[in-house]
Structure formats: C-alpha cells, structure tokens
Amino acid sequence: MMSANNVLLASHGTEGAVAAENVALQMCGKGARLHQLIVVPTLWQGMTGDDWLNNGSTRDTFRRYLESEIGREIDEYCQRVSDEAEQNEIEYSRVIIVGEPEACLLEVSQNDDFDLVIMGSPRPRGKKGLRSRMPTEPLARSLRIPLLIVPYPDE
C-alpha cells in the first residue's frame, strides 16, 4: 500500500467514513500527519422541530439538546481516530465546521500542504442513514491534490 505523510481525512463516523479512516491510518507511517475534517451539514441548523415545538423556549431547549448530541457523537468519532493515530505514532489534528461539505473540504484542503485527501464513498442504495451525498466528480476536478475515495465496506 502506498504511504502519505500529510493526509486530510474527510470523515464523520458512518460505515463508509470508518472504512476511509482505516485506510488513512494504514497509509500514514510513524511521524506522518493526519488531519481529520468533520463537516456538520447546514441542514442540521434547521432541525428545530417547528411542527411540534410551539414556543421559542421549547425550540431553544431542543436546539441545545440536538447540538449537544451532535457534539458528543463527533467527539466520540474523533477520539477513536485520535487514539488509533496515537497508537501508530501519527500526529493527529481535527477541525469541525458547519457548512456545505464540498465547499468546506475544498477550503480546508488549501490550508495546508496535504499529500492526499481521503474520504469514504457514498452510502449504497438500501443502506439506512441520511443521504447527504457530496458530489465527488466536481470535487475531484476542483481539488489540487489527489483524492482517494475508499469503497463502502462489503461492496
């Protein structure tokens, strides 16, 4: 397997993203740098449940709860990758951004001298989960560095 010294990992804890995390950790040797990007899609900003939360106070309470849950899940994802990186003597960092995934990935990819961007492939039809697909073809054309899209597990 090829190796890289400075990897940008676009990941968010789904099965496909975990496959990408595993490949990224395998490709980084001792002393390499792994920078994890977590993008919280802007669609979550509107998740206030307006149809059943009928006053501002209740909506704010629900919004804080939802933000807390998303934050907790992200911390768990990042901690898992950080622990693996530490065990393999890989330097780990992360950034969490609210925005559109493709735009955030392009922006972050230009902030450092990355060798490679690694991400998971889109979730196959029939698999449960939110369909927040990132258009990979335009992304690959826009990136100035190589992009590795890791196949979905068992596909």
Residue at 22 is within a domain: yes
Residue at 155 is within a domain: no
Residues contacting 147, CB < 8 A, separation 6+ = 116, 117, 118, 119, 136, 139, 140
Percentages helix, strand, coil for the chain (3-state, rounded to 5) are 45, 25, 30
* C-alpha–C-alpha distance, residues 98 and 41, integer Å: 6
* C-alpha–C-alpha distance, residues 20 and 123, integer Å: 13
Residue at 130 is within a domain: yes
Residue at 18 is within a domain: yes
- In CATH, what number is assigned to the domain containing residue 138? 3.40.50.620
Residue at 76 is within a domain: yes
Residue percentage of the chain with pLDDT more than 90: 46
What's the pLDDT at 47?
59
Q: What does pTM read for this prediction?
A: 0.83
Residues spanned by the domain of 109: 4-150
Number of domains in the chain: 1
Q: Work out the average pLDDT over 141-149.
A: 92
The CA radius of gyration of the chain, in Å to the nearest whole number, is 17
Tell me: pLDDT of 12 over 60: yes
In angstroms, the first-to-last Cα distance of the chain is 20
* Other C-beta atoms lying within 10 Å of the C-beta of residue 47: 12
> Do residues 104 and 44 make contact, with C-beta atoms less than 8 angstroms apart?
no
The pLDDT tens digits of the residues spanning 34-57 come to 999 998 887 656 555 555 556 667
Q: Work out the average pLDDT over 92-110.
A: 92
